[in-house]
Structure 1
Amino acid sequence: MNPTILKTLYRVDNRPAYPLQVLATRYRTQTDIAVQYDQDTERDTGSGYTLILLHATGMHKETWEVFIEHLFDYSLRRVSRSSNSTPAPSSHDIDRSGIWIEDVFSIESPNHGESAIVNEQVLKTTYEDRWSPSEYERAVHTFLTEGANACWCPGIPGISLKGNPETDMVSQMLNAWTWLRHDVWPSRKTAKMYLQADPLYGRWEPRVLDLYIKYGLREHRAAKYKQPFQFKGVTTALTKEQEAATYRSDELVVDALEAYSAATRKMPVYLIWGTENNVATPELQELLADKEAGRFPRSISYVENAGHLVVQQQPDSLAELVLSILHKGVATRNKL
């Protein structure tokens, strides 16, 4: 990660009110600290955008880091560099287009990544082979109300309607893939070699794959056993049991879709798809823009050379598209 981007880990422990600890990483740039009020930009420190990012099932909070780095690069003007030193940034280095990303919070699902290790005992004894998508929603709400002095409770986007043939086909595919996927390797090096050769993971942006190897995998649980039964390999932080449980939940395709539909009627919602329909078929995509069903996204955009996992496959292009959407939002707001 760019050394000028500062990372701060936050942990919210609201037990027993919420049984799981919630981890999030805050990202901001050195530039943010140095910026003072500038009459040309009409902007002061503390008035920029704060983005809240949530990751997909099976990922981790750091999966956004390549996207975040590109986002900061494009939201701030490049600071001129000399061969010997980097001058302190000033307000004149800020992109005068009206878009300034002050900071970004990436909140982790409690059974993914580093959080899976922190919450290991509770996950094993209380959740075992069940996991509701609403747990992530509860975790986000817990973090934002207890850790960030804000109150916001998102609806996690679903994929379709219950009983829809397209939905059933996707759910069956994801369920089968979960149980069949490789999830144990003798080392991180071996895991990387295996995943690089995999048709799915091999298409990831290399830096994103490196982040998955570092944060999406964990020491195998059998490492705690005494010899000769100890196994010092690695496995996925998210267990197969809980991943499969996510796809079985009605909340993924019923409650979330209702929440999404309501959200499009209350606030600007922008949809971004990959151009390759390897999970969400065109029919499923159309459901999320069905005006007759009360769904009114503000816009629909596409990222080339990406499928379902846009963040993992084309993080740079996605960052530029997100900034473009923010630009349009600012332009629209300034006309009102």
Structure 2
Amino acid sequence: MSELIKTIFKVDNRPADPLQVLATRYDPPPALNYVRRDNGYTLVFLHATGMHKETWEVTIERLYKLAASSQKFFIQDIFSIECPNHGESAVLNQEALKKYFENNWPTREYSRAAHAFLNAGRSRGAMVDFSKRTLIGIGHSSGVPALCLMREYSPRIQFSAIIAIEPGLSEMKTRNNPRADVVRQVMSAWTWLKKDTWASSDTARKELKASQPQASWDPRILNLYLKYALRIHPAASFPPPFNFNGLTTALTKEQEAASYRSDDLLDLGLEAYSIITREIPVHVVWATMSEVAPPVLQEVLEDRSLGRCPASVTRIEGAGHLMVQQAPDYVAEVLSILLSRIASDHSAFSSRL
């Protein structure tokens, strides 16, 4: 059981934007006696496709403990913003999703949602003026292009640095490389084939524990998935005897498959990533056992001759694409090292001014 203090915030921009945005602020466990500093970092987490805002909890709790012990970087607060068609947000937005996005989901909708939350101001949402914070964006998989594409919205959200874990980007189609769509095709086919409905929570737990990729997850992450990534099946509302009171994934197969068709994962996302690596420090974290990002793709995202200039590249031995779910404590240790480096670089830069 997590000891983090959790507060959920909502930003509702309807009718201008049909999708409401949910985010959770995570404060340190009281027993940690963590002293927050007003000049500390505000960390903004964006999750991978198929996950939910709570998937970061184990990593966040460990990160607070590491920050308290190291004193090499300081955290003011942490927010995890949910993609509007995932988790709790999918239930909140179900009517709008059905009306406007039934078979369509561009990654930039996650960018738009995150921007709306961070731009809500002091009177709505978290009631924070994020323009006065030192923001560090931390994204996993499709959460990375969502962070990068945020640069297209006004007013600009100014991140001081970005940590990109297994970035969900692919080669540009304009390079006429057949590899560009292979990963997306595989992920789309896998989405249609995987099971998404269970008779009960006990059945879901038993079957997911024995299925990939969940079988390789940390048990605490699986518990969070069962609690937040699944929902009561919509057929529960049917009149008896036709109602079905089982569970299904909050993210529908239709929208998950649509997300892999989005060009935001190719030309647009990669272009935004390339530009951002030249504007601010972007620290990339790869898994050596990644099922999604082969070495050739990793090289593409590190190719300085193409204008892609990450500040650092870290490779995690033995980790897979879903390292946040498989090894959340270790991910926290990697984040701690990178945040310490960001703080050191910032301090060195400030001392030269």
Aligning the two structures, in what range does the TM-score lie when normalised by the shorter sequence? 0.7 to 0.9
How big is the alpha-carbon RMSD for the aligned residues of Structure 1 and Structure 2?
Answer: 1.9
The answer (yes or no) to whether the contact 1:219–1:232 under 8 Å persists in 2 is yes
Partner of 1:54: 46
Partner of 1:114: 88
Rg comparison, structure with higher value:
1
Aligned length: 310
Structure 2, unaligned stretches of length 5 or more?
136-145, 150-167
CA-to-aligned-CA distance 1:21-60 (integer Å, 9 cap, x gap): 0000000115599667xxxxxxx73222110000111110
Partner of 1:197: 210
2:40 maps to a residue whose letter is: G
Partner of 1:256: 269
Deviation of 1:165 (Å): 2.3
1:279 maps to a residue whose letter is: V
Give the counterpart of 1:154 among 116, 129, 147: 147
Partner of 2:139: none
Structure 1, unaligned stretches of length 5 or more?
37-43, 78-94
Matches of 2:340 and 2:30, distance apart in 1: 20
Matched, 1:72 2:64: yes
Any idea what SS the aligned residue of 1:295 has?
coil
1:51 maps to a residue whose letter is: L
Give the counterpart of 2:338 among 320, 325, 331: 325
1:302 maps to a residue whose letter is: R
Judged with a 3 Å threshold, the aligned counterparts in structure 2 of structure 1 residues 32 and 138 are, in CA distance, closer, same or farther, namely farther
Partner of 1:14: 13
Partner of 1:28: 27
Deviation of 1:129 (Å): 1.1
2:130 maps to a residue whose letter is: A
> How many percent identity over aligned positions?
49
2:148 maps to a residue whose letter is: G
Matches of 1:332 and 1:122, distance apart in 2: 44
Judged with a 3 Å threshold, the aligned counterparts in structure 2 of structure 1 residues 261 and 142 are, in CA distance, closer, same or farther, namely same
TM-score with structure 2 setting the length: 0.84
1:7 maps to a residue whose letter is: K
Report which stretch shifted further, 271-280 or 144-153.
144-153
Q: Which structure 2 residues correspond to residues 1-336 of structure 1 after superposition, within 5 A?
A: 1-3=1-3, 5-30=4-29, 45-77=37-69, 95-97=70-72, 99-146=73-120, 147=125, 148-150=128-130, 154-156=147-149, 158-162=169-173, 163-336=176-349
TM-score with structure 1 setting the length: 0.88
CA-to-aligned-CA distance 1:55-105 (integer Å, 9 cap, x gap): 11111000101111111111113xxxxxxxxxxxxxxxxx433x1222110
The answer (yes or no) to whether the contact 2:37–2:74 under 8 Å persists in 1 is no
